[in-house]
C-alpha cells in the first residue's frame, strides 16, 4: 500500500476519534444549556428513593452497552487498519513464522535454550536487585555461601565477595529454584490474542491477565464514575410544578445520552488499547523467532533422537533404583 493510502487510513482513524469526542462534548453542552436555563432545586433526599435506584441501573446498563459495543467495533476497525500496531505486528509475525521451516526444532530450542536462558536472567535480576553483582555465587555449595557472610572467600581460583545474611539466604533460595511459569513452546507459534524488565517467558505467561485486568479496571472505573454522576443529577428537581414531568424527562434524557456518548468514546479507546496489548505480545513472539533464527550454534535432535534420549534416561534411572525387598 502506498504512503497516500496509509495517510488516508490514519486520517479516517483520527476522524472517528474526533467524532466520538465531539459527540460527548455536544452532550455536555446540551446539559449545560438545560441546567442553565431551566431552574432546578437541590434535594438530597431523592437519593433514598426507589426512583434513584431505577435510574442508576438504567444508566449503568446504557454505559455498559455503549462501552462493550464500541470495544468490539474499535477492535475490529483497529485490526483492519494497516497502520495500527496490531496489523504491523501480525505482518511481522507471519513473515518470521514462515522462515521457521522446522517447528519441532523450534519448540526444542525454546525448551533447551530460550527458557533456561530466561531462568538464568531472572535469577541474575533478582540477585542484582538484592545488591549481589556476581551471579556465579549460585555455583557454590550452601556451606560455601554461608561462609561468605563472615568475609570474602577464595574457592579454587575464583574470589567471591562477602554477603550479608539476607543476601546469603536469597542465594541459597535461588539455588533451590525459582517459581516461574514457562508457557508451552506452542504459544510462540500462535498469535492469539511501560517498560518491563521481565523475560519473554514471564511476560507471555501473563498475556491473558494483562488484557483482562486492563479491561476490568477501565470498565469498573467508568461504572463508578457513572454512578457518581447519576447520584449528583438525581438530587436536582424542578423548583416549580409547571411542566415538571417534561423537564425531568429532558434532564434524564440528557444524562443518559451523555453517558452513552462518553462510554462509547471510552470503549473505542479501550478497544484500541486492547489491540495494542495484543500487538505487544505478538512482538514478543517475533523477538523469540529472531533469536532462534540467529542461533547458529544450536543443533536440535530429531523426533527419534529425542525419543531415544528420553528412553535411555528413563532406563538409566530405573537401573539406579535400589532393589525392592
* Half-sphere exposure in the Cβ direction for 273 (13 Å, CA): 15
Q: What is the mean pLDDT of residues 1-5?
A: 46
Do 40 and 117 touch, CB atoms closer than 8 A?
no
Q: Is the pLDDT of residue 322 over 50?
A: no
Q: How far is Cα 12 from Cα 273, in angstroms, rounded to an integer?
A: 17
User: Which of 83-97, 210-224, 239-253 is modeled with the greatest confidence?
Assistant: 83-97
Q: What is the pLDDT of residue 248?
A: 66
pTM: 0.60
Q: What is the pLDDT of residue 302?
A: 77
What totals of helices (H) and strands (E) does the chain contain, helices first? 11, 4
pLDDT per position as a tens digit, 254-310: 777 777 777 787 788 888 888 888 888 888 889 889 988 988 888 888 778 778 877
Residue written as cell 507459534? 189
Q: How far is Cα 24 from Cα 257, in angstroms, rounded to an integer?
A: 9
More confident residue, 194 or 234: 234
User: Which of 40-49, 84-93, 238-247 is modeled with the greatest confidence?
Assistant: 84-93
Of 11-25, 52-66, 124-138, 251-265, the range with the lowest mean pLDDT is 11-25
Q: How far is Cα 215 from Cα 220, in angstroms, rounded to an integer?
A: 8
More confident residue, 250 or 62: 62
**What residue ranges do the domains of the chain occupy?**
3-96+200-293
Per 3-state DSSP, what percentage of the chain is helix, strand, and coil (rounded to 5)?
75, 5, 20
Q: Provide the grid cell at 199.
A: 523475560
Handedness of CA 75, 275, 285, 210 (dihedral sign): negative
Q: How far is Cα 235 from Cα 42, in angstroms, rounded to an integer?
A: 5
φ and ψ of 322, to 5 deg = -65, 150
- C-alpha to C-alpha distances, 232 to 45, 46, 144, 237, 256, nearest whole angstrom: 12, 10, 67, 11, 13
Amino acid at each position: 500500500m502506498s504512503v497516500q493510502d496509509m495517510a488516508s487510513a490514519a486520517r479516517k482513524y483520527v476522524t472517528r476519534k474526533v467524532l466520538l469526542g465531539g459527540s460527548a462534548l455536544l452532550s455536555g453542552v446540551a446539559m449545560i444549556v438545560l441546567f442553565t436555563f431551566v431552574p432546578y432545586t437541590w434535594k438530597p433526599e431523592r437519593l433514598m428513593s426507589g426512583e434513584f435506584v431505577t435510574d442508576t441501573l438504567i444508566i449503568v446498563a446504557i454505559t455498559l452497552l455503549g462501552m462493550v459495543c464500541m470495544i468490539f467495533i474499535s477492535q475490529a476497525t483497529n485490526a483492519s487498519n494497516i497502520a495500527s500496531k496490531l496489523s504491523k505486528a501480525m505482518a511481522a509475525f507471519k513473515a518470521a513464522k514462515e522462515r521457521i521451516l522446522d517447528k519441532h526444532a523450534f519448540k526444542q530450542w525454546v525448551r533447551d535454550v530460550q527458557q533456561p536462558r530466561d531462568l538464568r536472567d531472572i535469577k541474575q535480576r533478582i540477585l542484582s536487585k538484592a545488591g549481589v553483582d556476581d551471579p556465579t555465587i549460585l555455583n557454590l555449595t550452601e556451606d560455601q555461601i554461608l561462609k561468605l557472610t563472615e568475609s570474602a572467600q577464595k574457592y579454587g581460583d575464583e574470589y567471591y565477595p562477602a554477603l550479608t545474611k539476607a543476601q546469603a539466604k536469597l542465594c541459597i533460595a535461588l539455588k533451590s529454584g525459582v517459581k516461574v511459569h514457562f508457557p508451552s513452546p506452542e504459544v510462540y507459534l500462535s498469535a492469539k490474542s511501560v517498560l518491563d524488565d521481565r523475560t519473554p517467558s514471564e511476560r507471555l505467561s501473563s498475556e491473558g491477565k494483562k488484557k483482562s485486568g486492563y479491561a476490568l479496571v477501565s470498565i469498573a472505573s467508568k461504572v463508578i464514575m457513572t454512578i457518581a454522576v447519576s447520584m449528583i443529577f438525581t438530587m436536582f428537581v424542578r423548583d416549580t410544578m409547571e411542566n415538571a414531568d417534561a423537564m425531568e424527562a429532558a434532564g434524564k434524557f440528557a444524562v443518559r445520552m451523555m453517558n452513552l456518548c462518553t462510554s462509547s468514546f471510552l470503549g473505542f479507546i479501550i478497544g484500541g488499547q486492547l489491540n495494542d496489548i495484543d500487538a505487544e505480545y505478538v512482538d514478543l513472539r517475533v523477538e523469540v523467532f529472531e533469536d532462534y533464527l540467529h542461533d547458529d550454534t544450536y543443533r536440535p535432535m530429531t523426533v527419534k533422537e529425542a525419543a531415544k534420549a528420553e528412553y535411555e534416561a528413563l532406563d538409566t534411572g530405573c537401573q539406579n533404583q535400589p532393589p525392592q525387598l
